[in-house]
Amino acid sequence: MKLGNYEIEHPLILGPMAGVTDWAFRTVCAQLGATITVTEMVSSRALVYKDQKSAQLLRKNEGSLCGAQIFGNDPQIMAEAAVLALEISGCDFLDINMGCPMPKIANSGDGCGLMRTPELAGEIVEAVVKAVDVPVTVKCRLGWDKGSINVLDFTKRMEGSGASMVSVHGRTRAMLYSGTADWDYIRKVKAQLSIPVIANGDIVDVTSALRCLKWTGADGIMIGRAAFGDPWIFEQVGAAMAGQEVPERPVLKDRIAVAVRQFELSERDHGEHIACLEARKHFAWYLRGVRNASYYKKEITSMNKMEDIYRIARDIVRDLE
């Protein structure tokens, strides 16, 4: 797959997720096979108004192509924010969020709300493409709800407006993350576009990844929630996409070591206090499916220092390995 001047042999994307895909987690996923990563979404208005917290979300990770994702519904502000996002991050491409279903975002006309105003969405892409000299990509859904699925016309408009790639989540805004992703629509999107199409939704393991690729004909896949606590999914799916033997998931001791490394990276990025708060949810995800882990999941909820993380990690390996 070609994205601007970049050639990606097996496009395997860590989906951008607010409150999850920070620099530390993206770094770990890139090290384990995610060939493309995208920052958490950042408000275009916040960037233009020089909000430092928003700017900090744009730290580029190494080891993969990395995109900066912004959201908003004003073409001029989006164009200004795109320039700022790239100046701050040095990212390889600029992604526009037109898929976030959260009411606070979508009901304001941002995120998936833009699928209700496709003409405006096209103007935004045109403005951003003119403002920056890197590829501009779009992430969207099938439409607002079951009665207004417009992803075919919408993605055609995105291509016509200058988008270099589209990622399609096979659900509507109304579905949020419930129900089953409709890969048939992604297949139809791929059939009508000449730019790369990335499939997203219900890709949870090697089997579903290969099935999705075969059915949709998509150029690559995006993995979101299935990566929570399991960055090895990229290593496994990547091997399968390349026709290689799929590696086994590491033993618990090695998985905990990766978790601790992620939290150390988070400390470097956010400081100890925020890193420990973030580690509470991530550490619990790393323990999903581990027998007799309930005691440690409770311990994790009160971590305040890196020493707490190290202690609990040692105890888990000692007691549950």
- Contact indicator for 234, 14 with CB cutoff of 8 Å: yes
| Active-site choice (29, 100, 112, 212) | 100
Q: Which two tokens stand for residue 295?
A: 């005691």
- At residue 45, the 3 state secondary structure works out as helix
3-class secondary structure per residue, 58-104: CCCCCCCEEEEEEECCCHHHHHHHHHHHHHHHCCCEEEEEECCCCHH
- Contact indicator for 150, 115 with CB cutoff of 8 Å: yes
Q: Active-site residue 100, yes or no?
A: yes
268 alpha-carbon distance from chain centroid: 21
- Distant-in-sequence, close-in-space partners of 56: CB < 8 Å, separation ≥ 6: none
- At residue 5, the 3 state secondary structure works out as coil
**Catalytically annotated residues:** 100
